[in-house]
Structure 1
Amino acid sequence: MINFLRNIIVSRSSKMLSYAEFISLVLYHPIYGYYMRKRIKIGSEGDFITSSNVSDIYGRTIAKWYAAIVEEYGINPQICELGAGNGRFAKAFIDEWHEKYRQPLQYYILETSPYHRELQRKSLSFGETVKQIESFDEITPFSGLVFSNELFDALPVHVVEKKQGQLFEVMIGMEGNELVEKAVILQNEQLLSFLKKYQLTLNEGQRIEIPLEMERFLENIAKSLEKGLVVTVDYGYTTEEWMDISRRNGSLRGYYKHQLVKNVLERPGEMDITSHVHFDALIQKGEEVGLHFLSKQRQDEFLLSTGILNELTEHHDPNPFSQVSKRNRAIRSLIMPGSMSSFFHVIMQQKGYSFKVDDLFKCS
């Protein structure tokens, strides 16, 4: 991967890549990209873990919640999951639906990684009602639920920094065999417009990630969604939180074998790279393209609203390894104070409906 990047950099007249270009290549290049390579990424043998991989209770709870909305309001029993990883959420959701509900479910997985598509085929039965797609174009217009879990944090971002009163874009160059950062005076009008639009005024010495790709992704969702809900699960900050002095170094980081790596130029193509989502920008951009804001909750609060506590089973089984014991521990791990859920938020948006937040939980 390093030789591949070097060839691209030296071929440029500027001898540099933007951070967004770098992240796009090291994560999504069809041959060398981290997400495209045949390597376990999620779980104890990988580099990170997601809520859906703690237990199938996560996918089953959201399936039960959505089924109640379908039954109560007649919303379309279709779901498009964006970036389904190893398919564990999809399997839990589909299993719960088929076991409990009569309405036929149409489940689409938008997945561009050949490796993840292969993993999904091992755990899911694909056919007319469960399909893998590579583009929104394959299902436009879509009506139903658009769901993503830790997708937006993995989209490419630019990096901007303020030094000596001047805004710079942080670029990537080469020195010998090493990738290095190079600061150039910020001239990208799209980045300047983003900072102004979302009222992001950097302090001296502060850097921040600018997610132009997030805006484009939201535009694609809105274009494809005719009517339905968008549920986005991720970690991020509001504009006010971004401006806090504790975030002066931004949020860009890598994960390799469950260890946080501060220098994302290390191990290109071999580790996950992530940054916190701009929640206010996601919500405001959604409004502009017709995805109207419903709510933003911590994930544990969302799961409690869906009725996950009803899934706790009273029992007196002394065996801590029994299925009931494991299930109860998984539920508690998702809702207890300080659990991983407290670091995630669930943002709900709607198009073509006029739901109020309480409408979507009264059926749970």
Structure 2
Amino acid sequence: MEEALYGPRGFYRRPEGPAGHFRTSVHASALFAGAVAELLCRVDAALGEPPELAFVDMAAGRGELVSRVLHVLPEEVAARVRAYAVERAGRPADLDHRIEWRSEPPAGISGLLFANEWLDNVPLEIVEADADGTVRLVLVREDGEESLDSAPLGQELRLWLDAWWPLPAEPGLRAEVGLDRDEAWAAAVRTLERGLAVAVDYSHARGARPPFGTLTGFRDGRETAPVPDGSCDITAHVALDACAATPGARVVPQRTALRALGVTGGRPPLTLASQDPAAYVRALTHAGEAAELTARGGLGDFGWLMEPVGLTDPVPVRLTDLLVDVADHEEQ
């Protein structure tokens, strides 16, 4: 998986970039970047408006999100922002000169680290219960042919499974071991001295793990077999609750987070159509885009893992709105 995604001939090295194959919230609407910009402003206020405010776009693709965030930020905030795009592919030739392109996140920063659909592409191990119910590693050749490892499962993998994805001894059941993702997320969070780290991804929780896993591939906008030959994306949903196993970290649905940041799908009043038809059309378009970003069964079901670092409580400017109990917020 590592080689197929990030090796010299890997999927994420391809010139068309991820946007050539699938659509994320970033591509769905500029409202998403506007919400991230609003979140960055709230982090800025929580930090006391420092002279330098970091914005780190993890798994930046071709820099679409960080570019749009810089474009919509208030001038006073944008003037203090140091923007980083973290991506293994090369820097796009036309990228905004204000954006620093890196293969690893910078250390010792204060600000917002935002990882949109990064963790689902952090390589992970797959395990399956064999005919006797023994859990074994799934081995995969480059052509996609699978077999089960004959060796016993390692202790680290077994401990993670016991804690986060207990697998019944039923032949054919699978689990996706998120240990490497937990470690990747923890390492990313450690780059922050003060601020907020956010990971956004399709996710599931311990009480509702999919019995056969979620591993799949994407190519040209369509789901395909996850053959690890570099021709397609290989992705699996994320056990965000395992990544969030630190004090202060919370997971909320994207619809909850975006609504707290001002993205709503309400239709504009009909009176606006007669008063200002062009404004009505724009507002209607925004409402449709907001509805897509917050829809149940779609993008709204993404999980937002939010982990504050070095922020005192109470945090000003309603940043804590994003850390409230999900049920309470959904009732509102």
- Structure-2-length-normalised TM-score: 0.84
Q: Secondary structure at the match of 2:195?
A: strand
How far apart, CA to CA, are the structure 2 residues paired with 1:311 and 1:90? 27
CA pair 219-102 structure 1, distance change in 2 beyond 3 A: closer
Q: Secondary structure at the match of 2:168?
A: coil
Please say if residues 239 and 279 of structure 1, whose CA atoms lie closer than 8 Å, have aligned partners that are also in contact.
no
Residue 277 of structure 1 corresponds to 238
Q: Secondary structure at the match of 2:13?
A: coil
How far apart, CA to CA, are the structure 2 residues paired with 1:81 and 1:102? 15
Q: In the alignment, which of 329, 349, 356 is matched to residue 307 of structure 2?
A: 349
Residue 86 of structure 1 corresponds to 62
Identity of aligned residues (%): 23
| RMSD after superposition | 2.8
- Give CA-to-partner distance per residue, 1:52-108, whole Å, 9 cap, x none: 111211101220232134235516522111011132211221111145747521111
CA pair 152-319 structure 1, distance change in 2 beyond 3 A: same
How far apart, CA to CA, are the structure 1 residues paired with 2:321 and 2:162? 39
Please say if residues 265 and 289 of structure 2, whose CA atoms lie closer than 8 Å, have aligned partners that are also in contact.
no
CA pair 233-125 structure 1, distance change in 2 beyond 3 A: same
Q: Which amino acid aligns with 1:306?
A: L
Q: Which amino acid aligns with 2:253?
A: R
Q: CA deviation at 1:313?
A: 6.0
Q: Which amino acid aligns with 1:166?
A: T
CA pair 294-75 structure 1, distance change in 2 beyond 3 A: farther
Q: Secondary structure at the match of 2:307?
A: strand
Q: Secondary structure at the match of 2:145?
A: strand
Residue 112 of structure 2 corresponds to 145
Q: Which amino acid aligns with 1:93?
A: V
- Give CA-to-partner distance per residue, 1:3-33, whole Å, 9 cap, x none: xxxxxxxxxxxxxxxxxxxx1011000x210
Residue 225 of structure 1 corresponds to 192
Please say if residues 264 and 287 of structure 2, whose CA atoms lie closer than 8 Å, have aligned partners that are also in contact.
no
Matched, 1:165 2:136: no
How far apart, CA to CA, are the structure 2 residues paired with 1:80 and 1:153? 18
Q: In the alignment, which of 289, 298, 306 is matched to residue 330 of structure 1?
A: 289
How many pairs align?
312
Q: Which amino acid aligns with 1:271?
A: C
How far apart, CA to CA, are the structure 1 residues paired with 2:123 and 2:97? 30
Matched, 1:180 2:145: yes
Q: Residues 190-205 of structure 1: matches in 2 within 5 Å?
A: 190-198=156-164, 200-204=166-170, 205=172
Please say if residues 298 and 341 of structure 1, whose CA atoms lie closer than 8 Å, have aligned partners that are also in contact.
no
How far apart, CA to CA, are the structure 1 residues paired with 2:244 and 2:45? 27
Residue 252 of structure 1 corresponds to 215
Please say if residues 195 and 311 of structure 2, whose CA atoms lie closer than 8 Å, have aligned partners that are also in contact.
yes
Q: Secondary structure at the match of 2:243?
A: helix
- Give CA-to-partner distance per residue, 1:344-363, whole Å, 9 cap, x none: 01111111124468941569
Which runs of 5 or more residues in structure 2 are unaligned?
Answer: 323-332
Residue 265 of structure 1 corresponds to 227
Residue 45 of structure 2 corresponds to 71
Q: Which amino acid aligns with 1:238?
A: A
Q: Which amino acid aligns with 1:329?
A: G
CA pair 252-224 structure 1, distance change in 2 beyond 3 A: same
- Give CA-to-partner distance per residue, 1:286-309, whole Å, 9 cap, x none: x2xxxx434321111111111223
Please say if residues 47 and 255 of structure 1, whose CA atoms lie closer than 8 Å, have aligned partners that are also in contact.
yes
Residue 20 of structure 1 corresponds to none
CA pair 333-215 structure 1, distance change in 2 beyond 3 A: closer
Q: Secondary structure at the match of 1:53?
A: helix
Q: In the alignment, which of 36, 52, 59 is matched to residue 26 of structure 2?
A: 52
Residue 38 of structure 1 corresponds to 15
- Structure-1-length-normalised TM-score: 0.77
CA pair 220-69 structure 1, distance change in 2 beyond 3 A: closer
Q: Secondary structure at the match of 1:192?
A: helix
Residue 135 of structure 1 corresponds to 104
Q: Which amino acid aligns with 2:239?
A: H
